[in-house]
Amino acid sequence: MEDLDRHELATFLRRLQWGLLGLIVLWILWLLAPVLTPFVLAALLGWLGDPLVDRMQKRGVPRIGAVVMVFAVMSAVTLLGVLLLLPLLQRQVVTLVTSLPSYRDWFVGTALPWIEVRTGLELVPYLDPARLFQLVREHWDQAGGAAATMLGYLSRSGFALLGWAANVVLIPVLTFFFLRDWDMFVERAAALVPRDHAPTVSRLARESSEVLGGFLRGQLLVMLILGVLYAIGLRVLGLDLGILIGVIGGLLTFVPYLGPATILVLGGIAAVVQFGDWQHLAGVVAVWGIGQVIESYWLTPKLVGDRIGLHPVVVIFAVFAGGALFGFLGMLLALPVAAIGNVLLRYAHERYTHSRLYAGNPHVIAPPGPAGGDAAEQGEA
């Protein structure tokens, strides 16, 4: 009995140690989130490109040569995308800035009165520009303090901008090293796993890599295709901001329902402000509908499928929770962590359904009753 109590106490202390270690790791991640972001992004890129490098190695290409070719292709595709998108997005941002007065007039003169008629609330007086300027003059001291705070934030943002520029330069370098040494990293990590748990850990790691790799590669293609489709459709419709709205909608497609909702809401507002008729609004709905049909019946089933196995609500929660806890790093890690967690939950469910707790005690005596009596009589017979 004492040996059993000691074993249970030792098991509890060991689990407590692992729990404390996990909390310490999360705390360190929270502290180092800005520093770790380029490393995590480069590791994801290296992990996505490693299967292609391995495939080329199997065909006789040396590892370093395969890494150089894959890295060159990834860099060329990224550079081409930047060169094509930046001028377009720059012109779109300039168009947005010049169109802001029209959107402001539509919001104050059309949208707010429409809301007031249907809700009975008085909103226009509170959002009138003249009233806002009057409030600023009346509370100039507070406004000056807020302006000083804003200037301080902008000065700090300048250093943050320099940090982002350094990260942009650092990411390609880190990606090359992750591509070159990915197999070595995996081997060293596998060597640290206790030998009696190595087969199970290897199986779970392989399943997690297959699930997440297939999902991310497919989702990136879906985002790219839908972004191009929405941008072309809205631009053909005549919307001045069609390319910008399409790109935003395509990028947000990885969050379920957010990308399509962005196209519908922003595209509808742009159509109403620019043209003011129902025909262009119906055109936006048509572009949105065509994109939804293509995504639902072709892109997602062919490219993504159900590889990640997560409900859309779980995906949305994971992305926003990761962003709230760890910023951009958390958003990068949200889906990988959720996918690995789902694989672990499936494994736990498998272990549970094969456990004695789930199956029950097979030696339990059947309760008395008609069925038990019949079984006893059949046994005696």
Model pLDDT, residue 161: 59
Angle at 345 between CA 355 and CA 40, to 5 degrees: 145
pLDDT category at 162 given cuts 50, 70, 90 is low
Domain boundaries, the chain: 204-359
Model pLDDT, residue 331: 76
0.85 exceeded by pTM: no
pLDDT category at 129 given cuts 50, 70, 90 is low
Tell me the three state secondary structure of residue 199: helix
Measured distance CA(69)–CA(49) in Å, rounded: 11
Other Cβ atoms closer than 10 A to 85 = 15
Cβ atoms of 267 and 234 closer than 8 Å: yes
| Percent share of the chain, pLDDT over 70 | 79
Predicted confidence (pLDDT) at residue 142 exceeds the cutoff of 70: no
More confident residue, 364 or 175: 175
Measured distance CA(253)–CA(335) in Å, rounded: 14
Average pLDDT over residues 245-251: 90
More confident residue, 205 or 271: 271
More confident residue, 45 or 11: 45
Predicted confidence (pLDDT) at residue 376 exceeds the cutoff of 60: no
More confident residue, 367 or 336: 336
Residue-wise pLDDT tens digits, 61-83? 898 999 999 999 989 988 888 88
